[in-house]
Amino acid sequence: MSNSINPQSVNPGSNSSSSTKDDLIRGLNDDLAREYKAIIQYVVFSATLKGPEYGDIAEQLKIHASQELSHALEVARQIDYLGGEPTVKGKDAETSEDSKTMLEIDLKAEQDTIINYRERIRQAEMAGEFALSQKLREIIANEQDHEIDLKDALGMK
């Protein structure tokens, strides 16, 4: 009967154990802290990359920074929806005075982020949070584009 209310739509995650939901919120907060770090690094690196060979990627990093902000906003929204408190602390930003090293730092961060979001998707699906899982898939698509841009700039395959 379509007139009955699905209890899970009223109380998100009600089918999952509280520890599964708590683990998911903890993981999402870790992801949020990583997004804060990415925003800082992309802002700084886009302004400080030196050398004509890095002109195109510097412009891309500005776009990446705004996309990372979008990711942070969505992750914070999802944490709140699940009943958690979004973190206000970011992971420590890394830096370098060497342009190539800056890009390598960003590349490693993107690769770590993708791994973590894949795990978060598994957790979300185990908790029955399929809409969250879909949002995270959209974020991963952006993160993979960032990885491709960085690999191209570094001359990697």
**How sure is the predictor about 12, in pLDDT bands with cuts at 50, 70 and 90?**
very low
Q: 20-56 burial, b for 16+ CB within 10 Å, e for fewer?
A: bbebbbebbbbbbbbbbbbbbbbbbbbeebeeeebee
Q: Which pLDDT value is given to residue 157?
A: 81
Residue 13 pLDDT > 80, yes or no?
A: no
Q: What is the pTM of this model?
A: 0.87
Residue of 17, 69, 24 lying closest to 43 (CA atoms): 69
Q: Round to whole Å and give the CA distance between 124 and 43.
A: 30
For 58-62, what is the mean pLDDT? 95
In tens, the pLDDT along 65-77 reads 999 999 999 999 9
In tens, the pLDDT along 87-142 reads 999 999 999 999 999 999 999 999 999 999 999 999 999 999 999 999 999 999 99
Q: Which pLDDT value is given to residue 17?
A: 65
Q: Round to whole Å and give the CA distance between 103 and 57.
A: 9
Residue 60 pLDDT > 70, yes or no?
A: yes
For 80-87, what is the mean pLDDT? 98
* Mean pLDDT score across all residues of the chain: 90
Domains and their CATH numbers in the chain: 17-154 (1.20.1260.10)
Alpha-helix residue ranges (DSSP H) falling in the chain: 7-10, 18-48, 55-81, 99-126, 130-154
Residue 59 pLDDT > 80, yes or no?
A: yes
Angle of helix 55-81 relative to helix 99-126, nearest 10 degrees?
Answer: 30
How many angstroms from the chain centroid is the CA of residue 92? Answer: 15
Q: Which pLDDT value is given to residue 5?
A: 37
The answer to whether the CB of 150 falls within 8 A of the CB of 102 is: no
